Amino acid sequence: MDLTKEALGVAPAAKYLGSSDVQAPETVSGPAKESERILALDTLRGVAALGILAMNIQYFSQVTAAYSNPTLTGSFTGFDFWLWLLSRVFFDEKMMAIFSMLYGAGIVLLTSRIEATGAGSFPIFLRRSFWLLIFGLLHAYLLWSGDILFSYAVCGMLVYPFRKWPARRLLVMGVLLLSVSSLIYFGYGWSMKSWPPDKIQVIEQQIWRPSPQQIATQVAAYRGSWLSQMSQRVPEAELLQVQAFLYLTLWRAGGLMLIGMALYRLRLLTGDLKISTYRNLGIIGCAIAIPIILYGVNRDIAENWDFRYAFFIGFQFNYWGSLGVALGWICLVMIACRTPSLRSWCRRFAAVGKMAFSNYIFETIVCTAIFYGHGLGQFGRLSRLGGVGIVLAIWLAIFALSKVWMDHFYSGPLEWLWRSLTYKKLQTFRRTTGVPEPA
């Protein structure tokens, strides 16, 4: 397949997005100025920042195992089932895929900008990754064990050496890395045939179907004080950052970052392709992926959500199908950015994306205040419909507050702190009327 710009239908982005939205980055080694930002990337990041809450709400509000095993808590019939299926098809793993690809694209964008000056990018990238790792650890162990920042920091460092590879090689290597996790899952699933039953039961209770006593213990801990939550949050964070990282996140996030690098090089993430190209790619991706995901759900139901099938084999349908749906989301956003009548809405989503880090932590603060004992203590009580209501309310709040914030500041508060630590000097924060952004 020819992956040249001509084959993909590349068109000048500035023609469609405005010269203030897409410009060649200046050769300076500080953070990108606002005029250098790419509207399509910020808009896509904003959509993902909102969309990821549609899945994280389950992890915030219910016992950990219920995120993977939807039959564990609450109703799984009628309207509740259709709500779950909607989130499964369009959000589960899809927003994480988009975020990971954007992180990979960001590596290329940041390092190429620095290296254009003749300077080395590694010191700045190392500090950037180090501080993201620290933020991730604080987030995971002090607020919410479902953190992804730690994994992004580690995976980003591991894929950094490959940032200059050509797009075709990045795509191939990305798919190969994604395949490693599948091989690990298949290997474990196959080997369980020879495991002692008591060992299988221990693992199943740990990650798939905890006993009523284990559920009660977790619920009591999260409905308790911040300190009592540590008995659950710390081991959960360790599980995600060690075991889950080694058999899943490392390969998935790392592979998607490489794919994101490739898609950025091919201009697919910047809104440069023809609308017809985006339309065709999005339709093809969803037409292939959605039936695969639905077939996987059907097989899980047929197997009665048996741990040995659903966790190791059934999971793979959504694991791979999520790539096609994520492509559909990307293409939809790119088309919106290229449509003049939707430009103002894209800028509103872009405001969310410009402070995606702050909004991600904002979601944690709000949700833990609702569900954990230091707040309203609603952990384990939320219905699926109630979860939709909370997600919509938080979306509206973020959508409104991000615009107001970005009207007065150049970046989100955590973005400002992260950049200040990365570049070892305080960055410009507050906008001053009539004064251009400092270089």
Q: Does the pLDDT value for residue 17 go beyond 50?
A: no
Mean pLDDT of all residues in 253-263: 98
- What the block records as the tokens of 116 is 């254009």
Q: Which residue has the tokens 């196959």?
A: 190
Cα–Cα distance measured from residue 367 to residue 386, given in angstroms and rounded to the nearest whole number: 13
Q: What is the pLDDT of residue 30?
A: 63
What's the rounded Cα separation, in Å, for the pair 241 and 416? 26
**In the chain, where are the structural domains located?**
5-423
Q: What is the pLDDT of residues 366-387, one digit of tens each?
A: 999 999 999 999 999 999 999 9
The tokens describing 136, both together, are 């991730």
* Residue of 304, 415, 307 whose CA lies nearest to 42: 415
Predicted confidence (pLDDT) per residue in 75-132, tens digit:
899 999 999 999 999 999 999 999 999 999 999 999 999 999 999 999 999 999 999 9
Instruction: Round to whole Å and give the CA distance between 241 and 235.
Output: 10
Instruction: Return d(Cα 297, Cα 74) in angstroms, integer.
Output: 18
pLDDT at 197: 87
Kindly give, in sequence order, each residue whose CB lies less than 8 Å from that of residue 355, ignoring residues fewer than 6 positions away: 402, 405, 406, 411, 412, 413, 414, 415
Given this model, what pLDDT does residue 199 score?
86
- Please give the model's pTM, rounded to 2 decimal places: 0.91
> Taking 80 as the threshold, does the pLDDT of residue 54 lie above it?
yes
Instruction: Quote the tokens at residue 414.
Output: 């955590």
